[in-house]
């Protein structure tokens, strides 16, 4: 069973360009999460999605950032008009559909390192 | 506000000794805690978790202790090996969230092993 897959692993963009990060969850997992990590810091929650639904986007910047998890295909984190402050590692995690009251473990992908020049 | 912090940013341990990594949390409403290990260039890897109705849980070479009175969490690694070198994060999921919810991460402790 393959783990969470993310691509690209490294992405370089110039200021003002768009960045598209892709995440394929583990087989059988219906929940996807995106986190951002700055150097020497912990991960910060951005957004939680299920198929075709955004469940919690409380950690997502209000502008330029968007996420989707379509019925078919990977989840996409899209950053428009990137700025240098967007440079970070972006991690995707997935978890299965849990029963009520059970906190399911999230499994993380290898991350996409975004560098904005 | 919610925060999960660590007492020490770096920890150096002799190979074969036991390692203890500490973590303080401020959200007394959290009911689920997790330790993750992150090696350089990789994503966080689940190590062990503990629910708030427990004070100790053991895994293979690892033990997590939870002291709710002082809001303190620790990870003990027995017989530390070179492969244990990584950054370790404590994390929490606040009470009241659904079965799948966001994880709140601490800032991490870097564990280095001396030969």
Q: What is the 3-state secondary structure (H, E, C) of B38-89?
A: ECCCCCCEEEEEEECCCCEEECCCEEEEEECCCCEEEEEECCCCHHHCEEEE
pLDDT digits 0-9 by tens, A3-18: 999 999 999 999 999 9
**Is residue A80's pLDDT more than 50?**
yes
What is the average pLDDT across A59-84? 96
Work out the minimum CA distance from B90 to partner chain A, whole angstroms: 9
Give residue B1's pLDDT: 36
Please list every residue in chain A whose beta carbon sits closer than 8 Å to the beta carbon of residue B106.
42
pLDDT digits 0-9 by tens, B65-110: 999 889 899 999 999 999 999 999 999 887 765 555 778 888 789 9
pLDDT digits 0-9 by tens, B34-67: 999 999 889 999 999 998 899 999 999 999 999 9
* Sign of the alpha-carbon torsion through A66, A105, A89, B90: positive
d(CA A16, CA A13): 8
Please list every residue in chain B whose beta carbon sits closer than 8 Å to the beta carbon of residue A48.
100-102
Give residue B101's pLDDT: 72
Q: Are B115 and B15 in contact (CB under 8 A)?
A: yes
- Per the omega criterion (within 30 degrees of 0), is the bond before A8 cis? yes
**Is residue B4's pLDDT more than 70?**
no
pLDDT bracket for residue A102 (50, 70, 90): low
**Interface touch B46/A105, C-beta < 8 Å:** yes
Give residue B7's pLDDT: 46
Please list every residue in chain B whose beta carbon sits closer than 8 Å to the beta carbon of residue A31.
100
Give residue A1's pLDDT: 52
Give residue B96's pLDDT: 63
């Amino acid at each position: 069973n393959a783990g969470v897959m993310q691509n690209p692993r490294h992405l370089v963009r110039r200021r003002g360009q768009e960045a598209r990060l892709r995440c394929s969850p583990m087989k059988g997992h219906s929940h996807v999460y995106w986190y951002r990590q700055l150097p020497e810091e912990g991960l910060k929650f951005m957004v939680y999605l299920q198929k075709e639904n955004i469940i919690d986007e409380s950690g997502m910047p209000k502008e330029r950032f968007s996420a989707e998890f379509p019925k078919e295909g990977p989840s996409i984190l899209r950053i428009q008009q990137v700025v240098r402050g967007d440079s970070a590692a972006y991690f995707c995690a997935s978890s299965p559909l849990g029963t009520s009251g059970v906190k399911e473990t999230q499994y993380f992908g290898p991350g996409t390192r975004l560098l904005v020049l | 506000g919610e925060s999960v912090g660590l007492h020490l940013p770096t920890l150096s341990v002799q190979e074969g000794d036991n390692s203890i990594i500490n973590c303080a949390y401020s959200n007394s409403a959290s009911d689920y805690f997790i330790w993750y290990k992150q090696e350089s260039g990789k994503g966080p890897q689940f190590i062990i978790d503990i629910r708030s109705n427990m004070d100790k849980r053991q895994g293979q070479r690892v033990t997590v202790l939870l002291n709710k009175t002082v809001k303190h969490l620790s990870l003990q690694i027995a017989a530390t090996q070179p492969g244990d070198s990584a950054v370790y994060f404590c994390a929490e999921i606040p009470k009241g969230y659904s079965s799948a919810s966001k994880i709140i991460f601490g800032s991490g402790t870097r564990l280095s092993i001396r030969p």
